[in-house]
Amino acid sequence: MMPPASLIVAFERLLGPAGLLTDPHDTAPFATDWRGLYHGRTAIVLRPATTAEVVECVRLAAAARVPLVPQGGNTSMVGGAVPAEDGSEIVLSLCRLDRVRAIDPLDLTVTLEAGVTLKAAQDRAAAAGLWLPLSISSEGTADIGGVLATNAGGNNTLRFGNARERVLGLEVVLADGSLWNGLRRLRKDNTGYALRQLFVGSEGTLGIITAAVLRLEPAPAERAAAFVGLPSAEAALALLARLQRHDAAALIAFEYMSAAGLELVLTHIAATRLPLARPAPHYALIELAGSRPGAGLGPGLEAALAAALEEGEIIDAALASSEAQRTAFWRLREEHSEAQKLAGASVKNDISVPVPAIPDLLRRAAAAAHALVPGVRVAPFGHLGDGNIHFNLIQPEGASSESFLAQGEPLMEAVNEVVLSLDGSFSAEHGIGRLKPPMLARFRSPTEVSLLRRIKTALDPEGLLNPGKLLPMIRP
């Protein structure tokens, strides 16, 4: 059922022409995910510019019992921000709430609105001599609201934790349109349940995050990065352990790439090249950073890698000798998603296992995928230091995308069986969204699913916030 015309008129009156989109041409990009897997419909896209306007939008929608789909940069990997196909839901975009409200170098905090992109937030921190150590491949588009709503992880989780570890305070519009101002910036604040943490990772199903206070760090004075070729996944673990012993406080990234994954980048992304003398079966990108000037991170890393070479843990290594080279190394890692998109249809498995189980995961999940779809291109990569692998499967060369995607469910199930047997998670850092609610019951006990459901019902009794995401839809 479409939202009533009177509601649309009320929104128009509230937000004015700059605050909404109604032309199907303009609303279409907000109703499709970037992977092109989901194609929803929305009669209107709300674009409030202030928290007060978000409050009014939610009040109007709640009174008319029309569901809202909060949306940030729309970079979800799991269809988390796409409205339903039947046009019954309305997209509420947070992108115009894009102010940095305050930054405090003494307190090491920044207070910013939901629509500030992660990249803009990083840049703002850097301009103040500070550091927001939260980094994901989509940071130029993803915004703070979405990053927090999905508890994004990314490249520096190993050292600094997931998005939730950055959050000191939140401002949230609740399902009935009331406003919770929890924008506190205290390191210690034991006053009952940690409400802010309920909203982090709730994927827009419990409330709409409009602003946040995040913890910052002093800017790094030094960085050192290396790109290494590895003989095996076991060697990757040995190297990780070595680097942690070497300097755990400075090790901010340990990213894994398979030979197949890197090959796709080198094939599909312009101006990329292997920085090593010869190819290897596995690769890692390592980064160290710290705020102490003159810490000698580069020479230290070089010595640790020389010892690793001696022990056969690595085959070859390249140390970044300039900022341009460090950026080039990171491009090889960060362009994996884009390269895989250009290579055809893919089935994404954002999974995690205990770190020691990574070699088993890679071997067994690859065997399971090959058994189901001979010729499938297995191109895992990701945040090895966190036990989080993007176990992505790309359609066999020359196969039709449709027939490959028709195998998506059995492929994900086969990978999930391996993950389950290794005590892992089917949803590591991308969230559950619309893709994964059916997997919940396989991985979580009825008691745990019931706890999730009871929290949802307590905060959104009418089921008006992002229906069908995170939890399976219950039709009234």
Binding site for ligand 2HG (CB under 6 A): 77, 137, 336-337, 348, 382, 390, 392
Q: How far is the CB of 193 from ligand 2HG (least distance, A)?
A: 30
Three-class SS state of 208? strand
Cα separation, 392 vs 351, whole angstroms: 10
Q: Which CB sits closer to ligand 2HG, 82 or 168?
A: 82
Which H/E stretch holds residue 351? strand 350-352
User: For residue 207, what are its two tokens?
Assistant: 């409330």
Q: Is 14 exposed, middle or buried (0-12, 13-18, 19+ CB in 10 A)?
A: middle
Q: How far is the CB of 312 from ligand 2HG (least distance, A)?
A: 28
Q: Which CB sits closer to ligand 2HG, 41 or 336?
A: 336
| Residue 64 neighbours by CB under 8 Å, 6+ apart | 3, 4, 6, 7
- Cα dihedral 304, 305, 306, 310 sign: positive
CA angle 147, 208, 215 (to 5 degrees): 45
Cα separation, 223 vs 183, whole angstroms: 32
Which H/E stretch holds residue 180? strand 179-182
Q: How far is the CB of 347 from ligand 2HG (least distance, A)?
A: 10
Q: Which CB sits closer to ligand 2HG, 40 or 382?
A: 382
Q: Which CB sits closer to ligand 2HG, 51 or 75?
A: 75
| Residue 152 neighbours by CB under 8 Å, 6+ apart | 134, 136, 142, 146, 162, 163, 429
Cα separation, 5 vs 319, whole angstroms: 61
Q: How far is the CB of 382 from ligand 2HG (least distance, A)?
A: 5
Q: Name the DSSP class of 26.
A: H
- H-type alpha helices, 33-156: 51-63, 118-127, 144-149
Instruction: Single out the residue of 360, 222, 244 nearest to residue 308, CA to CA.
Output: 244
Q: How far is the CB of 348 from ligand 2HG (least distance, A)?
A: 4
Q: Which CB sits closer to ligand 2HG, 93 or 340?
A: 340
Instruction: Single out the residue of 296, 292, 121, 129 nearest to residue 214, CA to CA.
Output: 121
Q: Which CB sits closer to ligand 2HG, 67 or 261?
A: 261
Q: How far is the CB of 65 from ligand 2HG (least distance, A)?
A: 35
Q: How far is the CB of 137 from ligand 2HG (least distance, A)?
A: 4
Q: Which CB sits closer to ligand 2HG, 138 or 210?
A: 138
Q: How far is the CB of 155 from ligand 2HG (least distance, A)?
A: 7
Q: Which CB sits closer to ligand 2HG, 19 or 154?
A: 154
Instruction: Output the DSSP codes for 235-285.
Output: HHHHHHHHHHHHHTTTEEEEEEEEHHHHHHHHHHSTT----SSS--SEEEE
| Residue 27 neighbours by CB under 8 Å, 6+ apart | 21, 42, 43, 44, 45, 91
Q: Which CB sits closer to ligand 2HG, 348 or 456?
A: 348
Q: How far is the CB of 76 from ligand 2HG (least distance, A)?
A: 11
Cα separation, 417 vs 365, whole angstroms: 9
Q: Which CB sits closer to ligand 2HG, 45 or 81?
A: 81
Q: Which CB sits closer to ligand 2HG, 233 or 285?
A: 285
Q: How far is the CB of 390 from ligand 2HG (least distance, A)?
A: 4
Task: Answer yes or no: are the C-beta atoms of 417 and 372 closer than 8 Å.
Answer: no
Q: How far is the CB of 35 from ligand 2HG (least distance, A)?
A: 9
Q: Which residue number has the CB closest to ligand 2HG?
A: 337
Q: How far is the CB of 410 from ligand 2HG (least distance, A)?
A: 19
User: For residue 167, what are its two tokens?
Assistant: 């959050």
Three-class SS state of 400? coil
Q: Which CB sits closer to ligand 2HG, 414 or 465?
A: 414
Residue matched to tokens 């460090």? 326
